Amino acid sequence: TRDSTPQSLPPRQRLEPNERPANSGGGSLRLSKRTSRPQLLSHATTAVSLADVHTQSHAGEFASNPSSPASRAVSRKQSLTHFGRFRGTSDSGGDDSGSLRSYAPTLDARLDSESLMGNGQEHDATPAWRALSAHIEEHEDPFQDAVASPRLDLFGLQMKHEFDEILPAEDEGLNEEAMLGTWKAKLKHFFILSASGKPIYSRHGDDQLISHYIGVAQTIISFYQGGEDPLRSFTAGAARFVILAKGPLNLVAVSRLGESEAQLRTQLESLYMQILSTLTLPSLEKIFSARPSTDLRRPLQGTDVLLDGLADGFTRGSPSTLLSALECLRLRKTYRRTVNDTLLKARSPNLLYGLIVAAGRLVSVVRPKKHSLHPGDLHLIFNMLFEAGSVKAGGGENWIPLCLPGFNNTGFLYMYVSFFSPSDGGDQNPNTNAEGPRPSSSGKEDELAIVLISPQKEGFYELRQMRDDLITQLRQNGSLLNLQSALRRRQATISELLGPGTQLRHFLYKSRGNVQFTMPSFLPHYEGLAARRKLLCLYSNLHEALHSKTAKLKVQCIASQEATALAWETPLFELYCVAGPKTSKNDLAQGANKIVQWVRREEERVFIIGGAVF
């Protein structure tokens, strides 16, 4: 009807351009033709923007706090930071190729450090830096004197007794309650048990002491195994529990050292690989398929010392394990090339891999063209040679059947090992001297180990001959003297590497392509086991912040009362550096830049590039 039909609106009055109001107060929305995003005014740069930095500030401990929602919204860009950015305007002078400043990323002190941490000293009062500085107190060096830091003093006392053996109560004159208190005071525990609950290995305590706790652990694991979501980890107070299920075995780590789940899981994987190196995977599965309640300690008899060596290394703090990389002996490029050429010249026809190792650091490697040793396998070999001490106790040379799980977990290889000191020229052959090579005066610090691996079970004498030929040629071309000099040269301090004015105290630099890392001496800032363990706790937190599943940023910063630290990830490297408390952001960025530049200059000295390949 006419009553229900709405009346038409009157025509809208049209205004001429010169009659339009400058600022209309009506309800209409005026959209600007200009884009909402301003055009970039800067030229191509390698700078890392402030949005790519996540700063964590802590009042005391180096615990990793969750990122703020704002920081988590930033996407993680896996881009080469040495490729420049270009403006969006056509007259910017940039094109799709971008700009390339150098082959390695750097933080330019004038541009990059300003973008990384702010805009220099004039912006020290930014909200992010104020929040960071609010938790930093004046404290020169909390690690210099344990008395100055009661928390460190207590931690140092705990670390001092962490590796003491827990003897039976009757031997120590203690009651069971006191012995249990000693066991509970340990900062870290590792357990290995079978799927049926049989104890296989424990770092601390005997069966009588741990049987109750093994039973509780097995009950908890079994409860969750029935569902689709097996138990992986949980926390109780300050302790983190991590469970790794591997076929018929369950491995458990309990840590009060602030390590992440991923880091503890990596350590459990190494313990599992140590078991496979003794049994191989088919043998392990066959044992438990025939009899699930088998006591695996009998087949593993004698390997406790290897498992203890790994576990203690994890507790002390291992940069190699944290970074999944190896450290190499610093050596001149020409010297290392001579050693590589000598290895190739002396190579036996049945040689699969050959290593020269000095004081736990790799000197040279000879390998097939299409095969590389897995870092986990090399960790097992190094642990056997230098940490456990079982091989060295066997004398001058050893012949060891060994499974390398990273290479092939179904069969054995055979490893010939010979220790000698380069100062004796390798002349003391075990054939002619019943006592073997002359023991070094300073333990393992000036010893070399030659490791030759073959698939041939009967290849002992062939590899021994290769060892003799190799030593002879290394002596003739002067390589033994060069290695002796490199071994006796103490590890450089950070001030010797970067200059006396550096604010940094320590760093870890990992070359991702070479799977190797380098670092300066812990001295003078981190002397003693407790101080070094605290430093590794800080590195662990930085590593977790950089690599956690929820991490989206390639630069992380942590600040506390004790230190300021930076982690930086690129496709080429990972860098972790630590400075004193209240170190300026500019000094921290400049220090990181100096490290990258130093590694670029010394790359072929601190890393093995390629090695000897046949």
Task: List, as one string, the DSSP characters of 416-456.
Answer: EEEEE-GGGTT---TTT-TT-SPPPTTTTTT-EEEEEEES-
Residues of the chain with CATH 3.30.450.70: 164-318
Give the N- to C-terminal CA distance of the chain in Å, as an integer: 97
Closest CA to 83 of 104, 103, 99, 107: 99
From residue 144, alpha-carbon distances to 135, 160, 463, 581 in Å are 21, 17, 49, 13
pLDDT (0 to 100) of residue 99: 32
At 55, the pLDDT band (50, 70, 90 cuts) reads low
Instruction: Work out the pLDDT band at 53, boundaries 50, 70, 90.
Output: low
- The angle that helices 261-279 and 375-382 make with each other, rounded to 10 degrees, is 70
Q: What is the mean pLDDT of residues 63-81?
A: 38
Higher pLDDT among residues 422 and 271, named by residue: 271
In this predicted structure, the answer to whether residue 531 has a pLDDT above a threshold of 70 is: yes
Instruction: State yes or no: pLDDT of 9 exceeds 80.
Output: no
CB 357 within 8 Å of CB 448: yes
Share of the chain above pLDDT 70, in %: 69
Q: What confidence tens digit (pLDDT) does each residue in 483-504 have?
A: 999 988 889 999 999 999 899 9
pLDDT of residue 285: 93
Output b/e per residue, 225-250; b: 16+ Cβ within 10 A.
eeeeeebeeeeeeeebbbbbbbebbb
| Secondary structure (3-state) at 141 | coil
pLDDT, tens digit (0-9, with 9 covering 90-100), for 235-274:
999 999 999 999 899 999 999 998 999 999 999 999 999 9
pLDDT score, position 240:
95
pLDDT at res. 104 = 45
Q: Pick the range with the lowest mean pLDDT from 293-297, 408-412, 419-423, 514-518.
A: 419-423
Secondary structure letter of residue 611 according to DSSP: -
User: Can you give the pLDDT at residue 3?
Assistant: 54
Task: Output DSSP code: residue 29.
Answer: P
- 368-377 confidence digits (pLDDT tens): 988 888 889 9
CATH class of 331-490: alpha beta
pLDDT of 584: 82
Residues of the chain with CATH 3.30.450.30: 331-490
**Comparing 133-137, 244-248, 544-548, which segment has the lowest mean pLDDT?**
133-137
CATH match of 164-318 with 3.40.50.1980: no
SS3 398: strand
Q: Which amino acid is at 195?
A: A
For 468-482, how does the pLDDT look when each residue is reduced to its tens digit (9 = 90+)? 999 999 999 999 999
| pTM, entire model | 0.74
Average pLDDT across the chain, whole number: 76
DSSP for 203-218, please give it.
Answer: SSS-HHHHHHHHHHHH
CA 592 to chain centre: 18
Contacts of 36 (CB under 8 A, 6+ apart): none
Which pLDDT belongs to residue 424?
Answer: 65
What single string gives the DSSP state of each residue in 243-306? EEEETTEEEEEEE-S---HHHHHHHHHHHHHHHHHHH-HHHHHHHHHH-TT--TTTTTTT-HHH
